[in-house]
Amino acid sequence: MCGIAGFILRAGQRPDPAQLAQMNAALAHRGPDDSGIYCAGAVGLAQTRLSIIGLHDGHQPLLSADGQLALVANGEIYNYLELNAELRQLGRIPRTASDSETILNSYAQHGLQCLPQLRGMYAFALHDATAGRVILGRDRLGIKPLFYVRLPDRIAFASEIKALLPILPHQPQVAATALRQFLQHQFASGEDTLLAGIQRVLPGEALLIDADLNIKRHRYWSPLNIEPRQIGIDAAQAELNDLMTAVMREHVRSDVPFGLFLSGGVDSAILAAQLHAHSNERIKSFSVGYRGATRADELNEAARIAAHFGFNHHALELEFNQVFSRIPHSIWCADELMRDYASLPTSILAETAGASLKVVFSGEGGDEVFAGYRRYDPRFAERWLKTLLHSGSGGFRTRGQWAKQWTRQLFGAELNTVAAMERAPFIKAWRDTPTTWSDLQRRQYVDLVTALPDNLLVKTDRLLMGFGVEGRVPFLDHRLVEFGLALPDTLKIQQHHGKWLLKRWAEPQLPPGHLQQPKRGFHVPVGDWLRGEVAAEIGQRLLRNRGIREWFNLAAIPKLVAARQRGNGASRELFGLMQFAIWHRLFIEQQGLKPAVNENPIEWI
């Protein structure tokens, strides 16, 4: 796992190594083991490395034998051994033990047709000097991030937005549509980010950038090509077993030890069983809970699973202040605003795991792939009413998360002008789906191309990489995604219980009764913290924050605080304003400012 950055300039210009070094410095947390810079013609590439496979000879940028190809890559190519064996037969002999070199040699042999052959999580930039182009590629599900920006003299790219900020010719501007989407849906989705002009390379896509800075899009994979299947339970279980075995055999490839984030839920418990079956080492596992919370956590279930498999288990029981002191650093890590409260304990888990490990497995993707969320199975009346009131997405993801009274009172004029775009990513995704798909498949797809890459995986990548830890997510191997999305609805949900096939297949591998536990989610007790004097202090600070003053109606903030103090909701709204205020300071007002791991969040507003 690494950080990559670089740019291609207009013809006749030459890259400045000092600028590349500056971009690299902004990504140092992603790759503390090594760094490198490449300059050739109008192209500059930079990389910071976290060494996991090919520890001693995987320095990047990687160059082809003839010097015409140069590569910087982030992530893992899990099937590099199989691809290397095929490439050797064709005369392409690897010169390192790094899995990233497989991208270089596969492209040299097959051109863009190499992309469908890669299995893994990755983002890369490849300079093809002979063709006079730079290729930016991203994995199928968007597990690894990649951003780019078009400037007057260049197109620049990086693993994180913060690495692009030093080369912008002016202070970045907030994109109103993305801000409203974050406030209402906890993340902004699609090509556009919260910073105007900075865009995402989309999952399953490669951008081809020529010497004149023209961009051509090349899509090499899409869930839309998955066709529904008719398959029985026995055949489906057998196929799932074979698939999971193949996926895990590749995912455990590593030259360093790995661990597991163990929540006690279905997905992490299944990973525990699979890691136990596919590893000869004693696995370190990590779970988290809270002292003084009013809602139960999963520490006991996680400990039970860990004991069952003989793991070296680390249970963290956290104080409220310990959790919420992570807010500024977590916002810095994420780059992109997303109101996933689980980012805070994830930060603590990542720091704890990172003290002894470079790789941790996590269960993201299981709910999207095998239909585990309750929102995938609404009652008929609920779906009918939501469709009637908010058309365009089949009653799915229909309304914002802020109470209407607060959107009316708090949103400024510019946020109100983009109200029609609030649900645009969900509506587009729904309408893109084939007519042969069921509503359940459409709901899965909408999440796979919006909430998954632009919210859930932001947490998994950025919060872990903030501490130099690679997160591996086997449920998002594209073969499992294709299998899960294509399954008949009856093998996903039965009697309003999701992940039916996955649970039935996994049951013999787990302690008796574990799969009958109710789904709790990764709870963070925000409401228990955001009250009383804490709410009052946040309100006072918000009134003085530049970003809040530019985008919101200040007169409504004392009303919001008062409602929160009375216990009348408003925690989501107040937390969102606090996040935006801190983010605005870090990414607009004082770029380059980096919070310590633990800070008083109120002082950063």
How does pLDDT run across 543-602, given as a tens digit for each residue? Answer: 999 999 999 999 999 999 999 999 888 999 999 999 999 999 999 999 989 999 999 999
| pLDDT at site 524 | 81
Tokens encoding 386: 């939501």
For the chain, the straight-line distance linking the first and the last C-alpha, in angstroms and rounded, comes to: 32
Answer yes or no: are the C-beta atoms of 332 and 304 closer than 8 Å.
Answer: no
| pLDDT at site 330 | 97
Helix then strand count (H, E) for the chain reads 26, 17
Answer yes or no: are the C-beta atoms of 117 and 80 closer than 8 Å.
Answer: no
| pLDDT at site 1 | 67
| pLDDT at site 294 | 53
**Phi, psi angle pair for 67, to nearest 5°:** 75, 5
Question: Domain 225-318+338-371+482-513 belongs to what topology?
Answer: Rossmann fold (3.40.50)
CA 29 – CA 358 distance, rounded (Å): 12
DSSP 371: T
Strand partners, 123: 74, 138
Binding residues for L-glutamine: 99
Predicted TM-score of the model (pTM): 0.96
Binding residues: 99, 288, 362-363
Question: Domain 2-221 belongs to what topology?
Answer: Glutamine Phosphoribosylpyrophosphate, subunit 1, domain 1 (3.60.20)
CA 169 – CA 156 distance, rounded (Å): 12
Spell out the residues 6+ positions from residue 218 whose beta carbon is closer than 8 angstroms to its own: 112, 115, 205, 206, 207, 208
For 91-131, the pLDDT digits (tens) are 999 999 999 999 999 999 999 999 999 999 999 999 999 99
| pLDDT at site 139 | 98
Answer yes or no: are the C-beta atoms of 350 and 286 closer than 8 Å.
Answer: no
Q: Do domains 2-221 and 225-318+338-371+482-513 have the same CATH topology?
A: no
DSSP 461: I
| pLDDT at site 297 | 66
CA 361 – CA 252 distance, rounded (Å): 9
CA 605 – CA 599 distance, rounded (Å): 11
Cα distances (angstroms) measured from residue 312 to each of 270, 287, 335, 346, 568 = 17, 11, 33, 19, 43
Binding residues for ATP: 288, 362-363
Angle between helices 557-566 and 571-584 (to 10 degrees): 130
Q: Is 494 left (phi over 0), alpha (psi -120 to 50) or beta?
A: beta
Residue 584: Cβ within 10 Å count: 23
Ranges of H-type helices in 310-423: 320-324, 327-334, 343-354, 366-370, 380-389, 404-410, 413-417
DSSP 195: B
CA 425 – CA 312 distance, rounded (Å): 42
Tokens encoding 188: 């902004």
| pLDDT at site 199 | 98
| pLDDT at site 522 | 60
Domain ranges of the chain: 2-221, 225-318+338-371+482-513, 530-604
2 is catalytic: yes
* pLDDT less than 50: residues of the chain: none
Q: What sign does the dihedral 53-59-62-63 (CA atoms) show?
A: negative
Answer yes or no: are the C-beta atoms of 36 and 61 closer than 8 Å.
Answer: yes
| pLDDT at site 449 | 98
Q: Of 2, 39, 114, 333, which residue is the catalytic one?
A: 2
| pLDDT at site 574 | 97
